[in-house]
Structure 1
């Protein structure tokens, strides 16, 4: 594995609880980290930098040094008026890992590295990956077909292998991870970690409204549709929500951070929604995935030894 050695004893699964707009908050992040899973949240989920400061303080107070790292997600797009303020807070709180998205990570890499923070960048194409690596990121998060919310269209098998030809550092696979079997498959492909987001929407710790959670529980992957006409970037959303909000459509490519801040009621979901069958505490979700993961490993080893 290409993961930092100082994380080895703190992770019980090679998993990140993915950052989800309007869903990921302090309680979900802290629960994930206590369970040995990297907990992430978009900094814009905190309505103001002052609230972000409170969230970071609160999460840190809920965790011991043995807990998994937290990984705030920072939108680095030029329209993010909060970028400098949020960046300064992440540095002040001595965050170990920052995930960048929607834009070049280049402007934030040097100050974060100077503060001892690692930087992983969301990428959806090989061109994106090459640019992020040239900018100096420490790891890549591969957005593949089926990822909830902002997504890519590349096949995960092809994408991971193509990036592995170019990069030996940490890789995170995002898209379609619903259980421990899929998590083990991501590792077999060559990923060090995987994102799991949709599976944490229907948990008491998430910020998602009850009707959103109920829709996730009721949905299958056939109820997920990709569109670039809500936030301006390709995203997977629940068809039920899309049909009810058709009037909110914008032009593809017209991403604005302010629109993201105002869109925290959007019902995002990935293809892994088929694996969500009820509203279950996040700790139980992690425990289930851990059991599945170890059973899958044991079954694979048994098959290999025959």
Structure 2
């Protein structure tokens, strides 16, 4: 199915972004059953030497559970899922993981850290859509030239690896030449912001950090609580931890014994995703997050979060159409 047709079939136009370590089959299945695209990084599926490929185990489970859901709920089918591939040259698993995704006919592929023709060709061989994440217009052009079907515009304020540009500027420049599928990432944690992304010219919103504080997420309780307690001022932008600029929780950096206000810069050549992450083990508890977490006030099941987003999205549409007052009662929420 063309990606824009997929978006139209969703409950709300949202893609749950692939969260390193955190996204797992439980979260993806819950997201898809609740009507948004769920996703996970292929590198999250890890096995010990001699064990079956965990990525294949995960894809089998996701496929079978969503199939059962669809058979039981023909009037409310699950959304499709996506797998994120890190295509950086240091990802030694890439070729194997591509083969597994082709075998299971993964419907949406999200590619990161490099655009490669052969990856796009592998996805297209099974009719999949490829979305490539970009932080500027130059990278966007390169991705489309190499065969990506659409783009994820990762703007300022996004969790994890993120760009510096305002979403207004980034979407505006991309839309001057590209009329294909475009998903916007960057501090989106309310249904109002989803509608704003569409108004700017995106087809869907990319939401990640809010899903860290869900029951299904593979995050420790301390991480989830930091999301609940945090706000935009609690985020720091640094390239120290992976060699790529990204947003992290200040409290987790302080807990690791560093001053979040005085971090050194890193060397991009130090990136190495051979083991799934370029973070040293000593930094394993430095946690990524976007600036939108001020909207998160408790840990809930993913379905409850999606219910909230859907209600806010519908209310925002009504406000803009003049069907209800613009003022919003905090107490009523």
User: SS state of the match for residue 225, structure 1?
Assistant: strand
**Partner of 1:243 in structure 2?**
254
Query: In 2, distance between residues paired with 1:110 and 1:189?
Result: 30
**Partner of 2:273 in structure 1?**
257
**Partner of 1:4 in structure 2?**
4
**Partner of 2:58 in structure 1?**
55
User: SS state of the match for residue 8, structure 1?
Assistant: helix
Q: For the Cα contact (< 8 Å) 1:231–1:250, is it kept in 2?
A: no
Alignment CA distance shift 1:138-1:85 (3 Å): same
Q: How does 1:87-98 map to 2 (within 5 A)?
A: 87-98=98-109
User: SS state of the match for residue 319, structure 2?
Assistant: helix
Alignment CA distance shift 1:25-1:265 (3 Å): farther
Alignment CA distance shift 1:25-1:78 (3 Å): same
Q: Answer yes or no: is 1:42 the counterpart of 2:41.
A: yes
For each residue in 1:115-147, what CA deviation from the matched residue of structure 2 results, as whole angstroms up to 9, or x when unmatched? 211110010111100100100110000010000
Q: Answer yes or no: is 1:29 the counterpart of 2:28.
A: yes
TM, length-normalised to structure 2: 0.86
Task: Give how far 1:258 is off.
Answer: 3.2
User: SS state of the match for residue 63, structure 1?
Assistant: helix
Q: For the Cα contact (< 8 Å) 2:134–2:153, is it kept in 1?
A: yes
**Partner of 1:292 in structure 2?**
312
For each residue in 1:174-217, what CA deviation from the matched residue of structure 2 results, as whole angstroms up to 9, or x when unmatched? 00101000000000000001111111001110000111111111
Query: In 2, distance between residues paired with 1:144 and 1:262?
Result: 22
| Greater shift in the superposed pair: 286-295 or 53-62 | 53-62
Structure 1 unpaired stretches of 5+: none
Q: For the Cα contact (< 8 Å) 1:184–1:297, is it kept in 2?
A: yes
Alignment CA distance shift 1:149-1:6 (3 Å): closer
Q: Answer yes or no: is 1:192 the counterpart of 2:225.
A: no
Query: In 2, distance between residues paired with 1:3 and 1:187?
Result: 15
Corresponding residue to 1:82 among 77, 93, 98:
93
Query: In 2, distance between residues paired with 1:137 and 1:76?
Result: 13
Query: In 2, distance between residues paired with 1:246 and 1:46?
Result: 30
Q: For the Cα contact (< 8 Å) 1:7–1:68, is it kept in 2?
A: no
Q: Answer yes or no: is 1:17 the counterpart of 2:16.
A: yes
Task: Give how far 1:161 is off.
Answer: 1.1
Query: In 2, distance between residues paired with 1:88 and 1:3?
Result: 22
Task: Give how far 1:6 is off.
Answer: 5.0
**Partner of 2:232 in structure 1?**
221
Q: How does 1:127-276 map to 2 (within 5 A)?
A: 127-245=138-256, 251-253=266-268, 254-258=270-274, 260-261=276-277, 263=279, 265-276=285-296
Alignment CA distance shift 1:249-1:208 (3 Å): farther
Query: In 1, distance between residues paired with 2:88 and 2:244?
Result: 12
For each residue in 1:64-116, what CA deviation from the matched residue of structure 2 results, as whole angstroms up to 9, or x when unmatched? 35211101000000000000011101000011110000112323011211121
TM, length-normalised to structure 1: 0.94
Query: In 1, distance between residues paired with 2:257 and 2:137?
Result: 32
Alignment CA distance shift 1:244-1:252 (3 Å): farther
- The structure having more radius of gyration, on CA atoms, is 2
- What's the Cα RMSD here? 2.0
User: SS state of the match for residue 201, structure 1?
Assistant: helix
User: SS state of the match for residue 98, structure 1?
Assistant: strand
